[in-house]
Chain A
Amino acid sequence: QQQVKQSPQSLIVQKGGISIINCAYENTAFDYFPWYQQFPGKGPALLIAIRPDVSEKKEGRFTISFNKSAKQFSLHIMDSQPGDSATYFCAASNDYKLSFGAGTTVTVRA
């Protein structure tokens, strides 16, 4: 039973466009919500993370929006670039243990 639900499974965006990935959770004990970027053959790399007492966090072109009451959070990739083509995983942490979403494969077309 997946504790974190992620959608869409894949998306294609034009260069310069916005990529949006959504995640939802049920366990209110989760207290930390990171996003990871993974390229083929590589381990996941921490991209950006948020705590539930913050509604939004922005780092460069990447923004997390967090809705605690709805138990949902999302990643926005602004001005998408071909180098952003990767698989993105949302995750939620309880006692430092991560539960991952199923992943979203993002393809940025030049």
Chain B
Amino acid sequence: SAVISQKPSRDICQRGTSLTIQCQVDSQVTMMFWYRQQPGQSLTLIATANQGSEATYESGFVIDKFPISRPNLTFSTLTVSNMSPEDSSIYLCSVVGGATEAFFGQGTRLTVV
């Protein structure tokens, strides 16, 4: 399985600011995704991070709020922009390895105050 490192592991941010989360994988992967897990809730797919092109966003998520970069096959960033308390969540990077297995990083726990 792929080893996924996310930074930061947690942060407390002021409303109106932005936070960039990094995801580093120890091997090249084709598919990378970003998920959100709101407090006590399940996981929801934010977007697919496409290498060399714009990310593909799911319904309810937009690029202006969650810009994503993926400069190569091992690295991606997710920015949470103009944060509000409703953005307080765990943000998780996921990669698909092998045939279809999806693996997750430890997540970034974001609190917006």
Interface flag for B53 (CB, 8 Å): no
User: Interface SS of chain B: helix, strand, loop or mixed?
Assistant: strand
Chain A contributes a number of interface residues (CB within 8 A of B) equal to 21
Query: Is A32 in contact with B45, judged by CB distance below 8 angstroms?
Result: no
- Please name the residue on chain B nearest to A36 by beta carbon: B104
Query: Is B107 in contact with A34, judged by CB distance below 8 angstroms?
Result: no
Query: Is B104 in contact with A96, judged by CB distance below 8 angstroms?
Result: no
Query: Which residues of A, 66-110, contact B by the 8 Å Cβ criterion?
Result: 89, 93, 96-103
Q: Which residues of B contact A41 (CB under 8 A)?
A: 109
A-B contact count (CB 8 A): 52
**Distance A36 CA – B92 CA, assembled complex (angstroms):** 14
Chain B contact residues (Cβ within 8 angstroms of A): what range? 20 to 34
Query: Is B96 in contact with A96, judged by CB distance below 8 angstroms?
Result: yes
Interface flag for A44 (CB, 8 Å): yes
- Please name the residue on chain B nearest to A89 by beta carbon: B42
Interface flag for B24 (CB, 8 Å): no
Q: Which of A43, A46, A49, A103 contacts B107 (CB 8 A)?
A: A43
Query: Is A43 in contact with B100, judged by CB distance below 8 angstroms?
Result: no
Query: Is A101 in contact with B102, judged by CB distance below 8 angstroms?
Result: no
Query: Is B48 in contact with A44, judged by CB distance below 8 angstroms?
Result: no
Q: Which residues of A contact B48 (CB under 8 A)?
A: 97
Interface flag for A12 (CB, 8 Å): no
Q: Which residues of B contact A93 (CB under 8 A)?
A: 100, 102
**Within the complex, what minimum Cβ distance (angstroms) separates B47 from chain A?**
10
A residues apposed to B, CB below 8 Å:
2, 32, 34, 36, 41-46, 49, 89, 93, 96-103
